[in-house]
Chain A
Amino acid sequence: MAKVLVVTSGKGGVGKTTSTAALGAALAQMGQNVAVVDFDVGLRNLDLVMGAERRVVYDVVNVIQGEAKLAQALIRDKRLDNLALLPASQTRDKDALTEDGVARVIDELRQKFDWIICDSPAGIERGATLAMRHADVAVVVTNPEVSSVRDSDRIIGLLDSKTLRAERGERMEKHLLITRYDRIRAERGDMLKTDDVLEILSIPLLGIVPESQDVLRASNIGQPVTVSGPDSPAGRAYAEAARRLKGEALPVSVPGERAGFFGKLFGRRAA
């Protein structure tokens, strides 16, 4: 059965779009049929990170408004043919997304793909709540700093109240992805400790992605980091996170830490 996954955070610039592309590509590399959907109408970005910006003809708003068929708007990835992108519109604003229209598009995507990964805009308003509305699973992207953690906490509250699942009284599966983790700054105490982030947010840890030049390089050449640098620390962290999403029980490693610490963190996965 198809799974709809929302990548969300509350705060902007924490790595949602980067993570959407990297997780989408990683799941596709594992043989899954994946669609990544850009909900950041007006500030579209995912097409750039996926290197598809010059191939955008129709977008999600065109599909919602009946100006294009879904199949016309979907852009197949150049390297992975089981990975497709549904781009956002750059010219319209968020009001162009209607509740019914989004529901129809998601339903149609569910027929064709194993995973539908929705890249959420920042904020807690309409765009963000529409992006999470149909999700079965949420990846909450957080940087280890106070404001990002607080915003994620807020978003988790919305995931538990504003999604269809929550309204039906069903549980929403939520995972925490800590990104832009900097070992040096962590050691200096300039960042929140992973343990503290986990304790505050109390949702299971999906992975820790290091702050890395590889990510910037990947987005500059328009490739998800799991494609451009599968063996880089960030690429590996995303690939492992994707395996965990598929249900594998891999221990989470802290970038740059010695092995002894891994088990401890894994033991701290919240229920």
Chain B
Amino acid sequence: MSASPKPDQPSRPMLRFRGRSFLALALAPAQPLEAWLADLDAWLERSPGFFTGRPVILDLSAAKIPVADLGSFIADLAGRSIRIMAVEGIEEGSLGLGLPPAIGRGRDATLPEAKPAADEGSKQPKSAPEPVSLIIDEPVRSGQTVFHPRGDVIVMGSVSSGSEIVAGGSIHVYGALRGRAIAGVANQPGARIICRKFEAELLAIDGLYKAADDMDPALHGRAVSARIVDDALVVSALD
């Protein structure tokens, strides 16, 4: 999932999904933003809904939008049914809880020091080089995305409908899982999704997925574990 931004050229990271691959479209706005949005609108008029429901990465290496204005810009895009799953090409290591996660920053020794205090509320992994578990003490709210491609994600509360967890390894939810859980994105077919109350909208492990409609209604509301067995995603009750 790592996206290496090349200047002026949208990068197109590949995601594997049930044997098919799809592109995460990279939108690279340019200044002035009004003109760029007008172009986008003209384009959307010809292909309405093109971005709807597609994963879109916002590449800000050219536009240099101040972080303070990013929320409203992302909201402008959301108003056009473009949902930004991640932001790349920004200086800040993390954007805070209301904004999509920042990705694509260097993972090598040139990283600036991890920022203290201000980053406290962030669900982003810090600049730790090793795979590491991310423990989240609060509920994950609708509209939030937790993106942790290098390790496990452990959520002490619930994961709301309309939110999404993406983990390189396993996902553990000690409350209700009502949103989308996408585990094993770092090529980890052994990853699992475990939750105490199962009401998920989507489960995926290493590219294999199951949507709510495909799930056994008898498992609804129960404690479950999901894993891959013989190239199929299997959900079973824990008790």
Contact = CB atoms under 8 A, between A and B. Distances in A.
Q: Do A and B originate from a single complex? A: yes
Interface of A: 99, 124-126, 129, 150-151, 153-154, 156-158, 160-162, 166-169, 199-200, 202
Interface stretch (B9-17, B137-145, B166-174): B137-145
Interface of B: 68, 71-72, 75, 96-99, 117-118, 120-121, 138-139, 141-144, 157-158, 160-162, 176, 178
Contacts of B143: 124, 153-154, 157
A166 B121 CA distance: 7
A157 B161 CA distance: 13
Contact of A167 (B121, B139, B158, B160): B121
Determine chain B's interface SS by DSSP, over half rule. Answer: loop
Interface of A is mostly: helix
B121 A162 contact: no
Contacts of B72: 125-126
Contacts of A99: 68
B75 A125 contact: yes
Contact of B160 (A124, A125, A153, A168): A153
A150 B157 CA distance: 16
7 contacts: A129-B71, A154-B142, A154-B143, A157-B142, A162-B98, A169-B118, A202-B157
Nearest to A167: B118
Nearest to A151: B142
Contact of B141 (A129, A153, A168, A199): A153
Contacts of A169: 117-118, 120-121
A125 B78 CA distance: 11
Contact of A154 (B96, B141, B176): B141
A160 B97 contact: yes
A171 to B, nearest CB: 10
A108 B130 CA distance: 49
Contact of A157 (B68, B75, B97): B97
A169 B160 CA distance: 22
A166 B97 contact: yes
Contact of B158 (A129, A150, A202): A202
Contacts of B121: 160-161, 166-167, 169
Contacts of B120: 169
A261 to B, nearest CB: 23
Contacts of B71: 129, 162
Given A160-B121, A166-B97, A167-B118, A154 B158 contact: no
Contacts of B162: 150, 153-154
Nearest to B178: A200
Contacts of A161: 96-99, 121
B117 A160 contact: no
